[in-house]
Chain A
């Protein structure tokens, strides 16, 4: 089976879709000659030229605005925000324009744009280059929010996002770029709003997003050695959420742990807990649903502190044990 890194899977997806659809173009800071801060757009400018791989000044509002405007006129822009942190500059374009236009024009206009951005900590890049802001967008109807956790999903979800007629916030993870996995060579899509059970188990449901899926999988290996079978679920698309597989799983296991890197307070975990509590799974809960999430602080620069600020494999292992053993 062919293996690619997460970064190369994204790169391949962009190559293929730009070849197949001339409406698709990329726009962002240092994405051309430099190939992007993490190399996702490497080689594109040589293949497609400056017209379709547009280097911009440092102006995130401009990138997002250009995407919105060109999308409304029929293009399929793929913008890149160098670090997710800087998407804060783009909020007006995304929240007030991209998310609203289709509704306010009664469906006569659509905004088929994708805005890619790497989020997350773990690179020692400190508080202004390590944010996990996905829930900012989850809270805005009209935006779709996608967070792939594997190379296969990265390629398939990016192609599906570009195909979608709505604005999609596509959140990658810096630490995932170098992870490897099976990626088919041909073009394929992974449908949006299609929650995936990535590992089956009977004792507890762990719902994880982005890199936390990978950490949960490692934790599950360790826990399996102790006889604890963890079921791991990756929503992949946070909004609109396909909640059914999560509810089915909690009905089966009776226990749930939510793991995400973003800070706990106001994080996506609260939404997931609520979806479970409001569903028929409530009657099957045999323990409180717990959230393992980032501490409510900005990401510290010190590497040791940074490490302990967000969930790690060992913290997932111990939290799962506490729940399964009825200690909480």
Chain B
């Protein structure tokens, strides 16, 4: 008998959601056959049979959110039957693990911080709650989602919170820099019914007036990441109307040389080329803010994320070392990533390591827009459509030129206005005089 566990695809992954079973109980499978499809925060994956066998004792159903390493089913050899304990006590997959499965240090820290362990999801083996989980929860709850700083509270406030089981995260501090003092804890009234209040605030509608769409992992993940970015990173925006005459001419020449079955090089590939080239001289735009370390990391590689719209979400696969590649190669890679993104074929490596992102919505006829920075990156470029516009030539006479609006969003904690402006200046040069990139 072989146990099948929920695999861990990524470093930070804690759970996966079952999307579909591809085989049924009693089906005979061979090693390597896909058994079920699961989705993590970011991507869909297939779980393959580790050995030949007969599928039995399926413990999870579609829609269940399962902690990684949890047993989800068994593969039996012919003639073998399931042991008794495999049949009983199916895993609890609805609720995250509770206080009973916290490490001792996590339990102590939770007591110190006044954290309710039943609300913390564990990332340790078997979903065990670790110290990091507790600290992350304590800080996260206070700040919307992300760990940023610990709760400031006096020792007396902490003691009373402990004695009264008050979660300090929910207490507003009246001391200097929001420090929670004894009186704040004493005055704290836990919200009588948090849930009730929220529900009451939404006007109830009769069933049938709306269609229920469950919040998928991907939607949650998009929501959390972008809310965090929007709330924490002070966005500054820089717009430039860029004359695409030279780029279009270059693409015409380049595409003319392609064989008929090769995909045409797109504006996205050209912009990616120009951005990657420009980033070489602008490391601040190609950086990550690591707040927990109080450091800004200027990244050695230039890995460009390309936003791809999916039917039910959005994903940003990454072109690695984009500055080392020409437009044709970039075009092929972007195309490959987009195709695989839409068919759920991306690997974790395809969506990690990005250092700058590009979102091009020009094909939808959008003139200009702003994008939210994809954390922990420091900037994103929003590319609008290229449209014909009258502009004055160097003699002041009106001429028609293809003009594309590009809007850079940068994290002002890392990037200052002049730094971003110089980046846009060089990006304009790369696009309006692409031969510069040969120099």
Contacts and interface: CB of A to CB of B under 8 A. Distances in A.
Interface of A: 254, 282-287, 326-328
B154 A286 contact: yes
Given A254-B182, A326-B181, A284 B175 contact: no
A285 B156 contact: yes
A152 B156 CA distance: 37
Interface string B258-299: 000000000000000000000000000000000000000000
Contacts of B176: 326-328
Interface of B: 154-159, 174-176, 179, 181-183
A326 B177 CA distance: 10
Contacts of B175: 287, 326
Given A326-B174, A327-B176, A328-B176, A283 B155 contact: yes
Nearest to A287: B154
A120 B175 CA distance: 36
24 contacts: A254-B154, A254-B156, A254-B182, A282-B155, A283-B155, A283-B156, A283-B158, A283-B159, A284-B155, A284-B156, A284-B159, A285-B154, A285-B156, A286-B154, A286-B157, A286-B182, A286-B183, A287-B175, A287-B181, A326-B175, A326-B176, A326-B181, A327-B176, A328-B176
A177 B176 CA distance: 42
Nearest to A285: B155
Contacts of A283: 155-156, 158-159
Q: Chain B interface secondary structure, helix, strand, loop or mixed? A: helix
Contacts of B174: 326
Given A254-B156, A287-B154, A287-B175, 14 more contacts: A282-B155, A283-B155, A283-B156, A283-B158, A283-B159, A284-B159, A286-B155, A286-B157, A286-B181, A286-B183, A287-B181, A326-B174, A326-B176, A326-B179
B181 to A, nearest CB: 5
Contacts of B182: 254, 286
Q: What are the 4 closest A-B residue pairs judged by CB atoms, nearest first?
A: A286-B156, A283-B159, A286-B182, A285-B155
A284 B181 CA distance: 11
Nearest to A254: B156
A247 to B, nearest CB: 14
A283 B181 CA distance: 12
Contacts of A327: 176
A282 B159 CA distance: 10
Contacts of B159: 283-284
Contacts of B158: 283
Contacts of B181: 286-287, 326
B112 to A, nearest CB: 11
Contacts of B183: 286
B343 to A, nearest CB: 59
Contacts of B155: 282-286
A328 B177 CA distance: 9
Nearest to B156: A286
Contacts of A326: 174-176, 179, 181
Candidate in A282, A284, A326 with the most chain B CB atoms within 10 angstroms: A326
A279 to B, nearest CB: 11
A249 to B, nearest CB: 14
A118 to B, nearest CB: 39
Contacts of A284: 155-156, 159
A254 B153 CA distance: 13
A326 B152 CA distance: 13
A284 B157 CA distance: 8
A218 B154 CA distance: 29
B161 to A, nearest CB: 11
A254 B157 CA distance: 10
A285 B155 CA distance: 5
A254 B183 CA distance: 11
Candidate in B174, B175, B183 with the most chain A CB atoms within 10 angstroms: B175
A327 B179 CA distance: 10
A229 B156 CA distance: 19
Contacts of B156: 254, 283-286
Candidate in A254, A282, A328 with the most chain B CB atoms within 10 angstroms: A254
A212 B158 CA distance: 33
A311 B174 CA distance: 29
A285 B154 CA distance: 6
Nearest to B180: A286
B35 to A, nearest CB: 54
A153 to B, nearest CB: 32
A202 to B, nearest CB: 13
Contacts of B154: 254, 285-287
A279 B154 CA distance: 15
A223 B144 CA distance: 42
Contacts of A282: 155
Candidate in B154, B176, B181, B182 with the most chain A CB atoms within 10 angstroms: B154
A78 B154 CA distance: 47
B162 to A, nearest CB: 9
Nearest to A328: B176
A283 B111 CA distance: 14
A327 B183 CA distance: 14
Candidate in B155, B157, B174 with the most chain A CB atoms within 10 angstroms: B155
B147 to A, nearest CB: 25
A287 B182 CA distance: 9
Nearest to A326: B175
A283 B175 CA distance: 17
Contacts of A254: 154, 156, 182
A287 B174 CA distance: 12
Nearest to A282: B155
A287 B177 CA distance: 13
A283 B185 CA distance: 14
A325 to B, nearest CB: 10
A254 B158 CA distance: 13
Contacts of A328: 176
A127 to B, nearest CB: 36
A328 B174 CA distance: 11
Nearest to B153: A286
Contacts of A286: 154-157, 181-183
Nearest to A283: B159
A327 B177 CA distance: 9
